[in-house]
Amino acid sequence: MVKKDLKIADVISESTGESWVYSNIVKDHFFHPRNLLLKDPTPGEFDAEGQIGSPACGDVMRMWIKVDSKTEKIKKLKWRTFGCGSAISTTSIFSVMVTERGGTTIDEALKIRPQDIMKRLKGLPARKVHCSVLADKAFRETINNYFMATDQNNRIIIEGERIIDKKLNITDKDIEEAVLDGVGTIEDLQKRLKIGVGSPKSMPEIKQLFRFYLEKYQTR
């Protein structure tokens, strides 16, 4: 029996109208994951690998890539994850998106956004949107390791945090994570982070960032 306060997006897919949260594509990639690597690769089999997360606090993603040094096309992308069905499905479809049709270039692959992944999967429940970011973050970590291994340190991607509410030391990443966890209104954001309470002058920037992340990750 569905609880009355359960969001409709968690019951009916807005993309397909199906009466369950996961599309057939999500289920297919969960039961039949593509490019999954269960055994550690042999030395030299891949050009770089990366890992994010910790088994102590949640999902863990490990990723390997093989790159054509002349064209920078990603010829192989393998992965292994400790996570939920959504994490497995999103990473599986991401590996297909990166390697299909002869492989995308590194720059093309870096332009793939979490909402592009969700679009290929025909949507995800709001509370599972963060899973589409797991593959993206693991890929960026792997690419950074590739850049270091090939002496391209000038291309390393640096993702910093910016403090928005100085009273509470809340950063833009805190707001992003709240949206990824399903916070959908500025009121809920304030309840969760207490943001803007001690620093009301920061509210215009907070609202702007909140709208930005909602637009970035929403599946509609």
- What's the rounded Cα separation, in Å, for the pair 127 and 14? 14
**Catalytic member of 1, 6, 38, 57:** 57
C-alpha distances in angstroms, 195 versus 8, 191, 214?
Answer: 27, 8, 17
The pair of three-digit structure tokens given for residue 192, joined into one six-digit string: 């969760």
Closest CA to 134 of 182, 98, 180, 87: 87
Please, where are the H alpha helices in the chain?
Answer: 24-31, 85-99, 106-110, 114-120, 131-149, 172-180, 186-193, 203-217
**Catalytic member of 106, 129, 131, 170:** 131
Sole residue written with tokens 């192989």: 76
Query: Is position 84 annotated as part of the catalytic site?
Result: no
C-alpha distances in angstroms, 11 versus 18, 64, 75, 203, 204?
Answer: 8, 35, 38, 33, 34
Burial of residue 116, with CB atoms counted within 10 A of its CB: 0-12 exposed, 13-18 middle, 19 or more buried = middle
Query: Is position 57 annotated as part of the catalytic site?
Result: yes
Residue 189 sits at the vertex; the CA angle it makes with 184 and 195, to the nearest 5 degrees, is 160
Q: Which are the catalytic amino acids?
A: 57, 131
